[in-house]
Amino acid sequence: MIPPAPADTLFESLPSLVRTETDPPPRIEDNEFVQVYEANFGLLVSIAVRKFQVPFGDAEGLANDVFVSYLKHRNEIRELHGWLIGAICNASRHYWRKNDRSIDQLDDEATSTQIDPVSAHVVDWLTARIAAGEALAVLSARHQRILRLRYYEGYSIPEIAEELGVTKKYAQKLVGKILRRAAEFFKASGGPMEKK
């Protein structure tokens, strides 16, 4: 990660299409926005990638858009982190709804990457290299449905537990077990599991 630059430095480096000759330099309070951005950008990207399996590059775009959207609401937001987290979750769900048709295969692949959080970037290269659908095909319809709820619909573990009528702990174990099963098959078919 690049170190956060002081606000003034950042502003000085703006391209001319953004900053006009007549624009005065930003006031000191503009630093607030830089701080909010710096302090939370990684969090929002993490949520989009790890909780919703949004591809990393797209997750960064969504996170950035959440910050831009925040600018209009900043005066009415009482709980900044709650708002930002709510916004990235909804943006991620919207992302999947909008991309439903074109990323069916990607979605299936994405579910198999959950085996290792460190492999959050995996979806970027997995699409091109692996037919993860094969890995998922070995799962039962119920297990496929659970993965779909978790990683496509964005259900939380408690929500899945409610949907299945089981305890949260069991739902958590079930998701882990399904992922391990898919990952084992995936590995056996020659797919790499980690990106270094």
* CA–CA dist 187, 134 (Å, integer): 11
Query: What is the enclosing helix (H) or strand (E) of 142?
Result: helix 141-147
Do residues 62 and 92 make contact, with C-beta atoms less than 8 angstroms apart? yes
**Which of 6, 94, 104, 176 forms a contact with another protein (CB under 8 A)?**
94
Q: Residue 23 interacts with another protein (CB under 8 A)?
A: yes
Rule CB under 8 A: say whether 27 interacts with another protein: yes
Which residue from 103, 110, 115, 120 is in contact with another protein, where contact means CB under 8 A? 120
Contact between residue 123 and residue 53 where contact means Cβ atoms under 8 Å apart? yes
Contact status: 106 vs another protein (CB under 8 A): no
122 contributes a contact to another protein by CB under 8 A: no
C-alpha dihedral (117, 120, 126, 131), degrees to nearest 10: 40
Yes or no: say if 127 and 102 are a contact pair by the CB < 8 Å rule: no
**Are the C-beta atoms of 81 and 37 separated by less than 8 Å?**
no
CA distance 189 to 44: 33
Segment contacting another protein (CB under 8 A): 56-64, 129-137, 178-186, 187-195?
A: 56-64
Task: Check residue 35 for interaction with another protein (CB under 8 A).
Answer: no
Selected binder of another protein within 2, 21, 141, 165 (CB under 8 A): 2
Token pair, residue 151, equals 């990683």
If one asks whether residue 21 binds another protein (CB under 8 A), the answer comes out as no
Place of tokens 């408690």: 158
Shortest Å distance, C-beta 172 to another protein: 11
Provide the binding-site residues for another protein, judged by CB under 8 A. 1-2, 7, 10-11, 13-15, 17-19, 23-24, 26-27, 29-30, 33-34, 37, 40-43, 45-47, 49-51, 56-57, 60-62, 64-69, 71-73, 76-79, 81-83, 85-95, 98, 117-118, 120, 156
